[in-house]
């Protein structure tokens, strides 16, 4: 789903799960993959967009996806969006990459 020039920053894929239906898998460089239901992907996309555009007064977003073994925590640091996970290196996306991730999450979730 992501374009080749962004492949190092993130990839998204979708698969069918017997219980959850469509699952969207997010892979960020240096971190384990996270799986989201379509609804969770929509929520994460909106939260990341609020951080990246400055529309949120909150400094970070957090989600513990139901179908994933790993939480998602992200915060805006300067002109970058950092996704952190204890015990793993931070995955830092420049804002253009962050907006590309947001757009792809929305498409995968069926909200754009």
The residue range of the domain holding 32 is 4-109
Model confidence pLDDT, tens digit, residues 24-62 = 999 999 999 999 999 999 999 999 999 999 999 999 999
Domain count across the chain: 1
pTM: 0.88
Residue 83 · residue 62 · CB < 8 Å: no
Q: What is the mean pLDDT of the segment spanning 5-32?
A: 84
CATH of the domain at 16: 2.30.31
pLDDT, position 96: 96
pLDDT, position 1: 45
pLDDT, position 2: 39
**Cα distance between residue 6 and residue 29, in whole Å:** 11
> Among 2, 5, 8, 3, which residue's Cα sits nearest to residue 29?
8
Residue 34 · residue 65 · CB < 8 Å: yes
């Amino acid at each position: 789903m992501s374009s080749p020039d962004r492949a190092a920053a993130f990839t998204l894929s979708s698969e069918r799960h017997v219980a959850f239906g469509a699952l969207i898998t997010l892979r960020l460089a240096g971190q384990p993959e996270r799986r989201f239901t379509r609804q969770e992907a929509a929520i994460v996309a909106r939260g990341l967009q609020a951080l990246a555009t400055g529309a949120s007064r909150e400094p970070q977003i957090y989600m513990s996806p139901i179908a994933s073994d790993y939480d998602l925590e992200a915060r805006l640091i300067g002109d970058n969006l950092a996704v952190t996970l204890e015990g793993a290196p931070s995955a830092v996306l420049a804002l253009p990459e962050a907006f590309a991730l947001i757009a792809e999450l929305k498409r995968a979730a069926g909200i754009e």
